[in-house]
Amino acid sequence: MPSTAPSFAPRDGFVLHNAQHSLITHGVARRLFCDSADALATQAASVLHGLSQPVPEHPQAPGLLVGGLPFRRDAACHLFQPARQLTQAQAQALLTPGYANTPAQEGLQWQLQAQPSRTAYAQAVARAVQQLHSPSSPDTTLQKVVLARSLLAESNQPIALLPLLQRLRHDASSTTYLLPLPVDANHPPAHLIGASPELLLARHGRQIASHPLAGSVRRHPDASTDAAQVQAMQDSAKEQHEHRLVVEAIADLLAPLCRHLHVPTQPGLHATASMWHLGTRIEGELREPDALDRSSSLALAALLHPTPAVCGTPRDRAYPLIDTLEPVARGFFTGAVGWCDSQGNGAWYVAIRCAQVQGHTARLFAGAGIVADSIPAQEAAETRAKFNAMLHSLDLQPTVAALERDTDL
């Protein structure tokens, strides 16, 4: 590492890093308590107000909060004002693309378990499809639900975070993140670490943007097969429907707060190192940029979260079905991770393509949007492909390939 690299202990760090912007913070000056994303609708301004009170023990604390919203809207948010912020130069030095070839941590031996197994996941998808076909009143008809599964990877040594962060930088299209998670006393520190391709909400002054993704296909090494698969995704009524539900939900929530809102009628393509997605960049201009209670990036992220890209439509039907069909609690997976300053500017990313790392274990998560036309085996394959970003960073692909030949991964 060059001499310009700062001293940075990822254990106490928070990271959001992409090609445009790098935010790396260290330590906690003050926790900002908020019981739920629901409560943020009324409490965002008072949470942000807390930032302007000095913290005598942490004179370098920047005037911003960082943290995460969990998947469940009724669960406690994890927000804090950091003790200090690295300069852009220090942050770049830490996660510069030059480190993209960082070798994986050496000497790790892994045990892997799919929770649920691929077969059990496909069965859950089949049950969701049944629900999507059951008649009910038009307002409460379930149109989409996102179902996730996880891979539990246990290693013979504690998992180091910095090489993982540096390897996640391989994919410059995504935002690398590290979110320290709340843990019970006497438990090792836990972090959510990943590379999100999906912008939930960014705000700068009056300007806001959201870039939802929904509709996915694995990237194929053969160029002509790859192009044919992308074309099939773009031509698929099912993928377009899955996507439109997300764009409509976001546009409906943002429109009343905006003087202008630009919502493209057709999605574009968004590529990560391992996946193709349908994506729509929505841009708007706020009516009242100073109303921090409703229009800070924190309040707006809490308003949109969770979108039908990660939960479903309508949300009130999707949440209980997810509880019934997913055996592992999501925690902060499919939550939001981001920052907000005292003026309300900031950016929040959808917490996907990630793993929850604690001590010797990494729990990888991946989900897929299910609609009435979904085919269970295809959705299982899609979640398998979405694991690839984290599998690569952990250097777990050889272990997975060996296991896949004879187990139900």
Ligand X SMILES: C=C(O[C@@H]1C=C(C(=O)O)C=C[C@H]1O)C(=O)O
Residues serving a catalytic function are 144, 198
Single-letter residue type at 17: H
d(CA 386, CA 350): 14
Classify 161 as helix, strand or coil. helix
Segment holding 190, helix H or strand E: strand 190-196
189: left (phi over 0), alpha (psi -120 to 50) or beta: beta
**Selected binder of ligand X within 62, 67, 215, 306 (CB under 6 A):** 215
Between 5 and 271, CB nearer to ligand X? 271
C-alpha 88/C-alpha 23 separation (Å) is: 7
**Residue closer to ligand X (CB basis): 62 or 267:** 267
Residue 93: partners with Cβ closer than 8 Å, 6 or more residues away: 1, 2, 4, 5, 6
> Cα 222 to the chain's mean position, in Å?
28
Identify which of residues 17 and 243 has a Cβ nearer to ligand X in the complex: 243
Q: Write the binding mask 286 to 325 for ligand X: x where contact by CB under 6 A, - elsewhere.
A: -----------------------xx---------------
Q: Is 198 in the site for ligand X (CB under 6 A)?
A: yes
By CB under 6 A, is residue 392 in contact with ligand X?
A: no
Closest CA to 312 of 271, 369, 352: 369
Nearer to ligand X, 127 or 287 (CB): 127
CA trace torsion 34, 38, 39, 43 (10° rounding): 100
Binding mask 218-257 for ligand X (x = CB under 6 A): ----------------------------------------
**Which member of 216, 313, 356, 399 binds ligand X (CB under 6 A)?**
216
Q: For ligand X, what does the binding mask look like between residues 340 and 379, x meaning CB under 6 A?
A: ------------xx------------xxxx----------
Residue span 152-191 as binding mask against ligand X, x where in contact by CB under 6 A, dash where not: ----------------------------------------
Q: Please state the closest distance from residue 389 (CB atom) to ligand X, in A.
A: 9
DSSP 101-148: GPPPPTT--EEEEEES-HHHHHHHHHHHHHHHHS---GGG---EEEEE
Examine residue 279 and tell whether it contacts ligand X (CB under 6 A).
Answer: no
Residues that bind ligand X (CB under 6 A): 146, 198, 213-216, 277, 309-310, 334, 352-353, 366-369, 386
